[in-house]
Amino acid sequence: MTSKTSSSEFGKLTMHRFRQLTWLITLWSAALFFILPVLQSMQLGLLMPNKSSHLSKDGVNLLLADENYLVLAGALVTGIIAACVVQAFMNSKNQNDLWLSLPVRREKLFAVNLTAGAMAVLIPLTAAYILASVMTVLTPDAAALFDFSAVLMGYLRAVGLFAVAYAITTLWCVLSGRTIIAVLCTLFTPAIGSATAGLAVLLVLMQFKTFYYTQQTMKILIELCPFAPFFATSIADKLITTMEIVWAAVAVILLLLSVRLFQKRSPEKAGDALVYSKALPIVKYPLVFLSTALGWVFFKLITSETGWAIFGAIAIGLCVFCLVNVLEKFDFRNILHHWWKFIATAAVFGLCIGILILDPLSYDTRLPAREKITEAKVYQLTINGIDLNPSSNFQQTIKDPEIIDSLYNLSQFVVGREEYLSYNTSFGYRNDPSDIPFSDISNAYGSKHLLYTVDYNGFIRQYSAFISDDQEKLLVAIFSNPKVIMKTNGAYTYTADEIELMTIEFSNISMSYTVKDTVATGPENNGAVGDVIYALRSGALTTTAEKLENAHLLCVLHIKGEDGKTVRVPVYDFYEKTRNIWLWPVIENHMLKTDPALIESIRVERLYDNFSQTVTDSTQIAELAPALITYMDTDYNPLISTENDYTVTVTYKDDSVSYPRLCDQQLPDWLKN
């Protein structure tokens, strides 16, 4: 055969197969026609015009570009269907008789089918996109807003998703002798990619309180799912775009692999569940394993009880095991024949879970001995979003033994037995705190949140969990070394003569100390406030009948109020105020520069009476500067508040701008009306 003949043979055969797909092309084109041109014309106001609306860039482009979810879903579904339809011939003995007796090489046959299927999906897709784009460009108001590159990206994304779905389904069609199994495997493939790893991580997380884990990990796991990156596009993320390209490249590789495998495939295997039966155990048992793990997680999540989790694991594992065997042989009667295999699989899985629970290496509760710890680094330590990190930055190495003691106590608390801490869910809510404001979490769960990552000479522990109020007090008390105290920017000040009384409360008794000039006098260990607290915590009390070894400590200040009244303010009771605060703006604003020398001007506005004044005079700036605070400062210092209605704009000499609040207690006279 001359090459001319063989290429025209390819062309003719492709056209022949293409014509066989008319029904698919028609359905897909009809669906696309509705999804793109019609909906787009509604977006543009051509259909169902709304006279009062005007077109926005988003409105014009999103349907075709970043939010073309319908198109993506359609591309995914037609990709799977098209692959099944064109490759179905391999699984029918009758069709094999026809196709394989023809004088055509198998690769050619395969390539023809692939091409025809791809044409059937891509030609209508391209046409619909062109039609919608042309329509947009021809609409007078929309033409200027049309973002060609975004729309092109949207189109390429749909093509990429189609390619991935098509390639995966094709590969499964080659690997399996039954179309239904190929489809099931394709739908399960995304799960295979990410769920396996995700499930393993989840299982370990559930078990180990101190397992290190971040949001980034979850993101990567999701990106391992072949279809996910394409749908996640409205979040502009370099990782997502990279994963899309990666998956498209994988699709090409899978197609080439499919060709190779098809060449090796024995035609008589049509009808068998898996054509390469040696691979069967590799697929079967991990599948059962996975579903058993899923069963465990699912029931544990719902009921928080291990007993139910075991039941769930066995029940779901058994069901999937039977299902897999039935699909393989399509013979219901043989289910019981495989009982020994199932027992073996269950035993293996049970062993793994047992090891996880028993924690034979004490991974969860292991801490280095206190004597061996000479230094520590605290990467993060927050309670309810408030930073309690004793170091000014996480690179700093702490060598102070007192602080290390406190840290160690906290660590022991954390790795201790579960009844010390209760969970709102059966495992802690793990999130990278840099991603999500804690106000969200605390609003959702109505409770407090502890997050810490501590490094003892290279031994790192990260921990994050929700804690109840009592537990929070307990933790704070354990950790309340005076030296380990919250940061402020200076607006937080109190003088000794403002403190009338310092009461050190324990969970079972209360002891009162008088504080004067930072010296505390009371029933035990008189001395500097910090020292007294420290001494009391260390259990050096002798006057009380009860031992205070495990006493919970809370320090309460009685402050002399302005009007002479006494205000009882627990020093650590600032959490109440932080519930509705956004963390990021707070942290940003906390970097407030209040040095008058840096300030160019301060503008103060009051909305309700349109009062406004700009202060540029350095004296006035120096007067006003101390009153500049942030919300966070009011959290740290219960003595101050910012209830006034002023809006403040501070312009610095380096042209930067910030928007602090004004402290009620520090308002200069000329502002007080």
* Positions that interact with another protein (CB under 8 A): 1, 5, 9, 12-13, 16, 20, 92, 94-98, 100-106, 266-268
Shortest separation between residue 3's beta carbon and another protein, angstroms: 13
Helix spans in 213-305 (H): 215-223, 228-231, 238-264, 280-303
Q: Of 13 and 120, which CB lies nearer to another protein in the complex structure?
A: 13
SS3 530: helix
**Residue among 244 and 272 whose Cβ is closer to another protein:** 272
CB of 21 to another protein, least distance (A): 10
Rounded to a whole number of angstroms, the minimum distance from the CB of residue 23 to another protein is 9
Q: Which pair of structure tokens corresponds to residue 293?
A: 């793990």
Q: How many CB atoms lie within 10 A of CB 395?
A: 8
Token pair listed for 514? 């008088």
Number of residues assigned to the chain: 673
Cβ-contact 233, 247 below 8 angstroms: no
**Residue in the block written with tokens 């004088």:** 103
Closest CA to 262 of 425, 94, 111, 80: 111
Q: Which is nearer to another protein, 20 or 362 (CB)?
A: 20
280 torsion bin: left (phi>0), alpha (psi -120 to 50), beta (else): alpha
CB of 333 to another protein, least distance (A): 19
Burial 500-537 (b: 16+ CB within 10 A, else e): ebbbbbbeeeebebebeeeebebebbebebeebbbbbb
With beta carbons less than 8 A apart as the criterion, state whether 273 and 279 touch: no
Distance in Å, CB of 255 to another protein, minimum: 20
Q: Three-class SS of residue 247?
A: helix
Tokens describing residue 599: 């300030």
Alpha-helical segments (H) within 416-499: 438-445, 469-479
Question: Any alpha helices (H) in 51-139, and if so which ranges?
Answer: 57-61, 69-87, 93-101, 106-138
Closer CB to another protein, residue 92 or residue 391? 92
Distances from the Cα of 495 to the Cαs of 72, 120, 561, in angstroms? Answer: 65, 80, 13
Residue from 293, 252, 69 nearest 166 by CA: 252
Answer for the pair 110, 258: CB distance below 8 angstroms, yes or no: yes
Taking the least distance from each CB to another protein, the nearer of 23 and 148 is 23
Q: Between the CA atoms of 137, 139, 143 and 149, what dihedral angle is there, to the nearest 10 degrees?
A: -40
Distance of CA 87 to the CA centre of its chain: 39
**Largest Cα–Cα distance of the chain, in whole Å?**
108
- Looking at the Cβ atoms of 92 and 303, the one nearer to another protein is 92
Q: Quote the least distance from Cβ 134 to another protein, whole Å.
A: 34
Shortest Å, Cβ 28 to another protein: 17
Report the DSSP beta bridge partners of residue 603. Answer: 614, 649
CB of 29 to another protein, least distance (A): 19
114 or 414: whose CB is closer to another protein?
114
Cβ nearer to another protein, comparing 96 with 126 = 96
Q: Which of 98, 460 has the CB closer to another protein?
A: 98
CB of 324 to another protein, least distance (A): 20
Is the separation of the CB atoms in 268 and 109 below 8 Å? no
User: Are the C-beta atoms of 467 and 475 separated by less than 8 Å?
Assistant: yes
Q: Strand 510-516 relative to strand 519-521: parallel, antiparallel, unpaired?
A: antiparallel
Number of H helices, E strands in the chain: 24, 16
- Least distance from C-beta 351 to another protein, angstroms? 34
At its nearest, how many Å lie between another protein and the CB of residue 331? 15
Nearer to another protein, 93 or 366 (CB): 93
Closest residue by Cα to residue 215 from 372, 490, 434, 509: 434
Report which residue type is found at 364.
D
Q: What radius of gyration do the chain's Cα atoms show?
A: 34
Shortest separation between residue 127's beta carbon and another protein, angstroms: 24
110 versus 452: smaller Cβ distance to another protein: 110
Q: Smallest distance from the beta carbon of 168 to another protein, in angstroms?
A: 26
Q: Which is nearer to another protein, 16 or 337 (CB)?
A: 16
- CB nearer another protein, residue 11 or residue 368: 11
